[in-house]
Structure 1
Amino acid sequence: MNTRRTILTAGAGAVAALGAGAGTGYAAASGRRVRTEPVYDEPLGIAMEGCPSAFPVRFLRLVNQGETVDMAYLDIAPAGPVVSGRTVLLLHGKNFDGGAWEPTACALVAAGHRVVVPDQIGFGRSSKPALEYGFELLARNTAALLDHLGVARADVIGHSMGGMLGVRFALKHPGRTGRLVLANPVGLEDYRELVPALSTERLFADELANTDLNGIRAFYRSYVVRWRRAYERNVELRYRVTLGGEYPRWAMASALTYQMAYHQPVVADLPKLRLPVLLVIGQADRAAVGKSYATPENRAKLGNFPVLGRRAAAAIPGARLAELAEVGHLPQLEAPERFEREVLAFLRD
């Protein structure tokens, strides 16, 4: 069950260079030249086959609901002058993969932390089965990964949907969670109150039709205040997967994980948290699950992160709130210095 394989090694030793050059174009590492411009005309496999990685990608074989699946992950050793002895677990959002954490991972590694970055089943380089997805399933898979790596306890940082998973992981595995950082987490409101429920068939059809490059770019642009070239990585990966023959399987996994995020909000779970929590909230964020399906009136009510962040901080006992002005849904990429400063200070306390 614990079979492992390693692929796409660009060299884990060039942390400083990677931190400076992360983003579209994939930074050079270990003296190797890696392409520096995005590609839009080459298909990408639904497990991101053919996409280089800044660090070695490994896989853990699991069984989910009777189906054998492979969970991709990065396990990056500390590189700073002082090793903290702590492990930090980075949880990606729904429209991202573990590789989107690269700048944050580099900063944490340089600060002496071991960093583990999984691609959850259904995302990134991991298998894309047609499962009944749920945060408890993903939390169980994540705990199995930590078991496999011999990590008894980790600090957890979750972005967007990864914040929802971080909350559920902390509640299901309180003894294994040291500190919890929530970076613009979705699920701080119950989307079922303002967004109509949709069938998986409708969501699948919509994903299949979402193949326009400009439309995909506009979607990611809506996340940020100012567009930067580094964000093009997400556009490239999302578009190129539509060119491959297995895109329908990717689209079905996306539809099923949408249902998970829609039907399993974490807002009611926040008062149950009993560990140090830091909320990092970009104040310009208006992201919400299913927002495009809401009526114009309800759409205006969704994703008000300045309000949602303060409510969440008030609901979580002893929570710390860091509000980042003029920052949208991606604080770790839009304001990396501020984000890393807040996170590193929180982990030191």
Structure 2
Amino acid sequence: MPRYGPRLEGFEYPRPVQTFAFTSQSQPLEMAYLDVAPARPNGRTAVLLHGKNFCAATWVSTIDALTAAGFRVIAPDQVGFCKSSKPSGYQYSFGQLAANTHALLDMLGIERAVIVGHSMGGMLAARYALQYPEATERLVLVNPIGLEDWKAEGVPWRSIDAWNEREMKTSFDSIRDYQRTVYYSGDWKPAYEPWVRMLGGMYAGDGRKAVAWSQALTSDMVFNQPVVYEFPRIAAPTTLFVGLKDRTAIGKDLAPPEVAKRLGDYPALGRRAAAAIPGATLVEFAELGHSPQVEDPARFNAELLKAVSAP
């Protein structure tokens, strides 16, 4: 199996990778990102925000679909993930990651964009839309996590040290088993394997400790910074995509059985979120799970283009 560096050195992205150097929390950092231009521009930009177990590269089919429709596409790796910096001391917050993303777009001269977020990126996209409403043309949430407050539901708190201990046990097999069970309802396709190798290769490489520590810090962020209570304040036109077979819930492994059983009910969570976000449109994929853009790219991309083309 592959072994990659702490910033995914050795793993090639489907498009040229660029780097945004900036200062945050009194330290120099770098955000890797893809900036893909369309052959026939429509004057609009789409920003794709990856999930916690994903990277900018995972958006490859969506990038192709959007650029073919005329969109300029920006797909960053957030600080702490993939090909971006992994500072050992950083106060991770969705507000900070949103600010980092906004600084990148400002550097690129992009004042307004369609913001698309998947999984953890959905929590970030919601925060971005709340923090920068004037810069958010449309909001698209793809199986976002954080549609429920796990702590309020009864999931016990876990320390960053405990998160780190858990992350240090990560392997190719554990990644694959988790995704098969939670993301894809027990199914597995060869198309999913490159993304397991992408993540697993970082944990297998020399930067294993730095990767695990960054993931521990960001897990703490995800668990302790819910955005679900602020959905009614989202002003941007919003489309919510939900694969109904998804059962993702952070900390579910620590929850009492009666709590764990009710967590990650995406059919119910999706409808509740769509009702909470003013004017939101809900698109359900009955036979898909956590990553509809990976499971069925053609269908997902067709629905995404409908959503971003709507008036």
Bin the TM-score by the shorter chain: over 0.9
Secondary structure of the 1:209 match is coil
1:263 deviates by 0.5
Q: Amino acid of the residue matched to residue 64 of structure 1?
A: S
1-side partners of 2:192 and 2:260: how far apart?
Answer: 25
Q: Which residue type is aligned with residue 143 of structure 1?
A: H
1:182 aligns with 2:141: yes
Alpha-carbon displacement from aligned partner over 1:38-76 (angstroms, at most 9, x marks no partner): xx1x32101000111111101011222112111000000
Which residue of 2 is the match for residue 236 of structure 1? 197
Q: Unaligned regions of 5+ residues in structure 2, if any?
A: none
Deviates more, 1:256-265 or 1:231-240: 231-240
The reply on whether 1:325 has 2:283 as its aligned counterpart is no
Question: Secondary structure of the residue that 2:204 maps to in structure 1?
Answer: coil
Matched, 1:217 2:163: no
Deviation at 1:337, TM superposition (A): 2.2
Shift of 1:277: 0.2
Give the CA RMSD over aligned residues: 1.1
In structure 2, how many angstroms separate the alpha carbons of the residues matched to 1:170 and 1:259? Answer: 22
Deviation at 1:83, TM superposition (A): 2.4
1:59 aligns with 2:13: no
Shift of 1:174: 0.6
2:50 paired residue number = 92
- Residue 344 of structure 1: which of 299, 305, 309 is its match? 305
1:77 corresponds in structure 2 to 37
Query: Which stretch shows the higher mean deviation, 274-283 or 339-348?
Result: 339-348
Is residue 68 from structure 1 mapped to residue 28 from structure 2 by the alignment? yes
Matched residue type, 2:48 = L
Number of the residue aligned with 1:305: 266
Offset at 1:214? Answer: 2.0
Moved more, 113-122 or 243-252: 243-252
Deviations 1:305-343 (A, max 9, x none): 100000011101100000111110001111222211221
SS at match of 2:3: coil
Judge conservation of contact 2:6–2:206 (CA < 8 Å) in 1.
no
Matched, 1:256 2:217: yes
CA distance in 2, matches of 1:298, 1:272: 28
Shift of 1:160: 0.4
SS state at 1:201 partner: helix
Describe how 1:1-349 pairs up with structure 2 within 5 A. Answer: 40=1, 42-79=2-39, 82-130=40-88, 131-193=90-152, 194-211=154-171, 213-222=172-181, 223-225=183-185, 226-349=187-310
2:168 aligned counterpart, secondary structure: helix
The alignment partner of 1:104 has SS state of helix
TM-score (norm 2): 0.96
Gaps of 5+ in 1: 1-39
How far apart are residue 219 of structure 1 and its match?
1.1
Q: Which has the higher contact order (CA 8 A, sep 6+)?
A: 2
| DSSP-derived class of the 1:132 partner | coil
Count of residue pairs the alignment pairs up: 306
Give runs of ≥4 in structure 1 deviating > 3 Å.
Answer: none
